[in-house]
Amino acid sequence: MTVEEFLAWADDGSPEKWQLMDGEPFATALARTGHGVIQANLAFLLTGALRARNSPCVTLTEPAVQPRVRSAINLRMPDLAVTCAAFSPDQVVLPNPVLIVEILSPSNEPTTWDNVWAYTTIPSVQEILVVHSIRMRVELLRRQADGSWPEEPLLIEADGTLTLDGAGLTCALPELYRGTHLTG
């Protein structure tokens, strides 16, 4: 299935969330409440950091992004993304994301990492954050000065501080997990 065929097929008003992976539609797993709290916390923190800098960039939840490699048959749906590009309200595919966030659950780990490596093919993406949902831990990939990606993500544990350069966000890791069972 192509992206165009997928968009026509998926636009049926169904509440199910789908993504197109190498020409095949895949339903995404239902998110647990902890996942939703983490997503909301991070959207709040990112938006606040962007506004504090008077940045033209915006945070979006569950946008459709199109990897550059095999773009005609791939449309992925991360949990969050930040873009600084203009877009219209009825646009489906988010243009030029600079930061992409995936929240990792045990049931979706292989699919999430497939998505992460697909996101590295998008020229505008500078940072990719993978947030674990069952323990306080994030993995950050940051594009290097020469345009390449590191072989391994930077691992930040519960007592660490997260810094996202593009959004101007620096926060203690527990802030992402506030309101979940992980913060007590």
pLDDT tens-place string over residues 67-116: 998 888 888 999 999 999 999 888 889 999 999 999 998 888 888 999 99
User: Residue 133: which of 31, 60, 59, 61 has the closest Cα?
Assistant: 31
For domain 31-177, give the CATH superfamily. tt1808, chain A (3.90.1570.10)
User: Residue 130: which of 119, 122, 139, 121 has the closest Cα?
Assistant: 139
pLDDT digits over 16-55, tens only? 777 777 788 777 766 677 889 999 999 999 999 999 999 9
What is the value of pTM for the model shown?
Answer: 0.89
Domain residue ranges in the chain: 31-177
Residues 57 and 48 sit within 8 Å (Cβ to Cβ):
no
For residue 177, give every residue at least 6 positions away whose Cβ sits within 8 Å of its Cβ, in sequence order, or none: 37, 38, 41, 136, 183
Q: In whole angstroms, give the CA distance from residue 115 to residue 138.
A: 16
Task: Measure the CA angle with vertex 123, ends 121 and 124; round to 5°.
Answer: 125
